[in-house]
Structure 1
Amino acid sequence: MVITKRGLIVSATAAALTAVTVTGAGLHLSQSQAFFQESPKELVDEVWQIINRSYVDATFNQVDWETVRQDYLTRPYTNKEEAYTAIQEMLEQLGDPYTRFMNPEEFKNMQIDTSGELTGVGIQISQDEETKQLIVISPIEDTPAFSMGIQARDAILKIDGQSTEGMDINEAVSLIRGPVGTEVTLTIERVLNEERGTKETQDYKIRRERIELHPVRYSYQESPMGGVGYVRLTNFNAIAAEEMSDAIKDLEGQNVSGYILDLRSNPGGLLHSSIEIARMWLDSGSIVSTVNRIGEMDRQSANGRALTNKPLVVLVDGGSASASEILSGALRDNERAVLVGTKTFGKGLVQSVRGLGDGSGLAVTIAKYLTPNGTDINHEGITPDVAIELTEDQQKLLRGDRTLIGSAQDPQYTKAMEVLRQEIATARARRIPAN
């Protein structure tokens, strides 16, 4: 997710599937840029100091951080590229794929990811903390990767024939991105049956495109219980809250009886966007809290300005991550919505993204976030109230024709309508006085 602060971007973006806060002097190069270029060792020490002050684990994942500093500050650095390499090596010792250094180009790309427009194939990736494999969090709807059939939790083994073993997220993103109209080949490993351990490997040649991310799609749908508002939210970018507000207001004007909010395959995005959207559905109650190595550092709550109080069902799956889990967790814990689908991805760490003096950037895991009931969903995910899996054939059908998502041919949507019908009936019964 991403928070904007003083012109900086803080991100829990799903590109790395993190919740992030950006701090520092800004995205423009500071007056210290020349100093860092002349003394790259100072940049190495600055990064060490930020980790020392802010990292979520006071033991630094059982690493002697003081010894690390002594090691890297006794080395000679003749240019900033050598400093960049040293910083990356230093951070790797933490064993945390989400605490990462970004060179100026990579930092700029991270900012683009949250702007509502990007160039690429339309996937957001993470790194498995145990296997270190690069994992697809989710393909973004209406993008080349989505159309080609890339799925959440696919492992990327190669990029244009280059093995991704030992490759960090930044390098992978740089290789996958490229000029509009060019192609990239991703070698994908997919688990077919987790219990049996069966897998398949396949190459996907994908054409890069300029992708405008309009995150909200909605419609008024007739049902036996009256009109239903179906709202699909595909990511939490800079315009998501505005588009969500417009959708709810339009559907309220059509006097719908209830809502289905579809967060399936939504990999996350800006933290402040998820909080704003939660407040559109919640009139009161806590939304999310963040806890650092000292204790609770922040708690966000509803502000009494909900746009609707009508029954709500939320659709989630294994591609619902980060900001999606904050929103669905807040709605479920406050008994505002019923969750339908499959268990969510399970990403509950918060990163702070800082602009450094030479235009590079640093993402640091500074905290974890908890749902209102205090649930830590990192690695665990959120289990829906009503579980319903899609078969492989059903998934292929929906991927092949996105117009079927949110239709009678979408089994999870059909189940959500059944649950919503019950919720609407219960709500109406409460309003009828007993004789």
Structure 2
Amino acid sequence: MKKIWVSLVIILLFICTNVIYTPNAYAYTEEEKILLQSWRLVNEAYVDDSFNNQNWWTIRQKFLKKPLHNREETYTAIKEMLALLDDPYTRLLPPENYHNLQITTSGELSGIGLQISINPENNQLEVVTPLPSSPAELAGIQPRDQIITIDGIDTQTLTLDEAANKIRGEIGTTVILEIKPQNQSTIKTYELKRDRLSLSAVSYDLDKSQPNYPIGYLRLNQFSGNATKDLAHAMVKLEQEGAKGYILDLRNNPGGLLQAGIEIARLWLPPSTIVYTVNRQGILGSYDADGDAITDKPLVVLVNQGSASASEILAGALQDNHRAILIGEKTFGKGLIQSLFELPEGAGIAITVAKYETPSHKDINKLGITPDRIVTQELISYFEIGTDKDLQYQEALTYLALEQETLK
């Protein structure tokens, strides 16, 4: 019996030893853990569950075989992995880029004042809009201009965040851009000095040019963290000053925080749907207005090809709910929603998690929103906005004057 018992113990020890040292108990390195975390976030959240018609698990195994000796090699592997999705908005944000994005949405920045994006149709880096009174705006750079090189580096070799990082820099330093204006074949060279940028979300004024019919003018520059509060304050002030109608200027507003767009829509709308979101399962969610608007007075929204993302959410909500008419030019056409996820040591990853539809279920991605009244105009400077040279603004004034006559 003793021999049998000893034999059983030896067998059990052998089995346990095999379990303890099984090859499946592989310990991942810290670099592999970061790559796996990025892969898993995309696997769980990305809007396209076909992952651009690829086997995402096979991609995981492929990239785990890469040598990841340091953080730079890890970031390179993650960028290569995300590039397979063919989605410029799903991207790695190394610590510096992630920090810069947080600064931008908080309303502080230095640089030359360009909002940029990658055109998904041709993979070309484009200007969404220059910021008002920025070095880029004063130099005459326009929405949809293509950025060919940055300090001699071909932008086709850069990700969106790499390009933004090269354009940014310390105040007083310069950056050289080669730019191909929209619908032109010649390339222009700009040497621009970086400066502190004013990212005040809202500017406003009471236009008294029409007798007995003052118009509240509101210009929203971006959907930052303080945009809703600033706009609500301006609306209340204009109400107190006797505004009888409003012009909300979203021209060259490239967007920003989705939540800011939702909250600003609620300032104007009675209970109604603001926007629908569609996730990877095709499930519709919605954001709604469920309170009282600050004002129900006539409203015109000005848009152009530089109006993008949250600007299109707001414009679409106001148009579809018949709260405002849109005047200007067709908008940019970015109907995708990104969420930010944190990675170790200050990095992050932006992932396209859904697309949005207007209240009447219009999908505007790559299509844009068409205004009720199309009014095109040549480039005007920031200082000419609201003047006789601003044809879109003048059309808005004319519409509101006729609306006032109708209401009498």
Instruction: Give the TM-score normalised by structure 1.
Output: 0.85
Sequence identity percentage: 47
Shift, 1:421, TM fit: 1.7
Q: How far, CA to CA, are the matches of 2:61 and 2:354 in structure 1? A: 26
Greater fraction of residues in helix: 2
Aligned to 2:375: 388
Comparing 415-424 with 358-367, which one deviates more in the overlay?
Answer: 415-424
Aligned to 1:258: 245
Aligned length, in residue pairs:
381
Shift, 1:232, TM fit: 1.0
Aligned to 1:268: 255
Aligned to 1:125: 116
Aligned to 2:10: none
Q: How far, CA to CA, are the matches of 2:258 and 2:194 in structure 1? A: 27
Aligned to 2:12: none
Long gaps (5+) in structure 1:
1-35, 193-197, 430-435
Aligned to 2:403: 423
Quick check: 1:187 aligned with 2:178?
A: yes
Aligned to 1:5: none
- Spell out the pairing of 1:46-195 with structure 2 (5 A cutoff): 46-192=37-183
- Return the structure number with greater relative CO, CA threshold 8 A, min gap 6: 1
Shift, 1:342, TM fit: 0.4
Whether the aligned pair in 2 keeps the contact of 1:191 and 1:200 (CA below 8 Å) is no
Aligned to 1:218: 204
Q: How far, CA to CA, are the matches of 1:296 and 1:52 in structure 2? A: 17
Question: Which ranges of 4 or more aligned residues in structure 1 deviate by more than 3 Å?
Answer: none
Q: 2:351 aligns with which of 364, 367, 374?
A: 364
Tell me: CA distance 1:37–1:414, structure 2 relative to 1, closer, same or farther (3 Å).
Answer: farther
Q: How far, CA to CA, are the matches of 2:28 and 2:168 in structure 1? A: 28
CA RMSD, Structure 1 to Structure 2 (Å): 1.5
Q: How far, CA to CA, are the matches of 2:350 and 2:165 in structure 1? A: 17
Shift, 1:239, TM fit: 1.5
Whether the aligned pair in 2 keeps the contact of 1:159 and 1:175 (CA below 8 Å) is yes
Q: 1:330 aligns with which of 317, 332, 340?
A: 317
Aligned to 1:201: 187
Shift, 1:37, TM fit: 11
Tell me: CA distance 1:37–1:68, structure 2 relative to 1, closer, same or farther (3 Å).
Answer: closer
Q: How far, CA to CA, are the matches of 1:200 and 1:326 in structure 2? A: 35
List per-residue Cα deviations over 1:342-398 (Å, max 9, x = no partner): 00000000111101123211011110011111111100000000001113xxx1xx2
Whether the aligned pair in 1 keeps the contact of 2:213 and 2:401 (CA below 8 Å) is no
List per-residue Cα deviations over 1:24-77 (Å, max 9, x = no partner): xxxxxxxxxxxx995201111111111111110111111221111110112232
Shift, 1:297, TM fit: 5.3
Comparing 272-281 with 335-344, which one deviates more in the overlay?
Answer: 272-281
List per-residue Cα deviations over 1:309-355 (Å, max 9, x = no partner): 00001110000001110111000000000100000000000111101
Q: How far, CA to CA, are the matches of 1:69 and 1:374 in structure 2? A: 35
Q: How far, CA to CA, are the matches of 2:121 and 2:35 in structure 1? A: 27
In structure 2, the residue corresponding to 1:389 is in which secondary structure? coil
Q: How far, CA to CA, are the matches of 1:229 and 1:191 in structure 2? A: 33
In structure 2, the residue corresponding to 1:230 is in which secondary structure? strand
Q: How far, CA to CA, are the matches of 1:346 and 1:421 in structure 2? A: 31
Aligned to 2:20: none
Shift, 1:262, TM fit: 0.8
Shift, 1:408, TM fit: 2.2
Aligned to 2:341: 354
Quick check: 1:294 aligned with 2:285?
A: no
Whether the aligned pair in 1 keeps the contact of 2:204 and 2:216 (CA below 8 Å) is yes
Aligned to 1:8: none
Tell me: CA distance 1:342–1:225, structure 2 relative to 1, closer, same or farther (3 Å).
Answer: farther
Whether the aligned pair in 1 keeps the contact of 2:375 and 2:392 (CA below 8 Å) is yes
Aligned to 2:31: 40
Comparing 133-142 with 288-297, which one deviates more in the overlay?
Answer: 288-297
Q: How far, CA to CA, are the matches of 2:347 and 2:32 in structure 1? A: 14
Whether the aligned pair in 2 keeps the contact of 1:99 and 1:351 (CA below 8 Å) is yes
Tell me: CA distance 1:76–1:163, structure 2 relative to 1, closer, same or farther (3 Å).
Answer: closer
Aligned to 1:307: 294
Name the amino acid aligned to 2:215: V
Q: How far, CA to CA, are the matches of 1:316 and 1:425 in structure 2? A: 25
Tell me: CA distance 1:261–1:372, structure 2 relative to 1, closer, same or farther (3 Å).
Answer: same
Quick check: 1:373 aligned with 2:353?
A: no
Comparing 86-95 with 288-297, which one deviates more in the overlay?
Answer: 288-297
Name the amino acid aligned to 2:351: V
Long gaps (5+) in structure 2:
1-26
Comparing 320-329 with 413-422, which one deviates more in the overlay?
Answer: 413-422
Quick check: 1:242 aligned with 2:242?
A: no
Whether the aligned pair in 2 keeps the contact of 1:286 and 1:300 (CA below 8 Å) is yes
Tell me: CA distance 1:373–1:122, structure 2 relative to 1, closer, same or farther (3 Å).
Answer: same
Quick check: 1:407 aligned with 2:387?
A: yes
Comparing 162-171 with 311-320, which one deviates more in the overlay?
Answer: 162-171
Shift, 1:126, TM fit: 0.6
In structure 1, the residue corresponding to 2:355 is in which secondary structure? strand
Q: How far, CA to CA, are the matches of 1:39 and 1:357 in structure 2? A: 10
Name the amino acid aligned to 1:235: Q
Q: Find the structure with the greater CA-based Rg.
A: 2
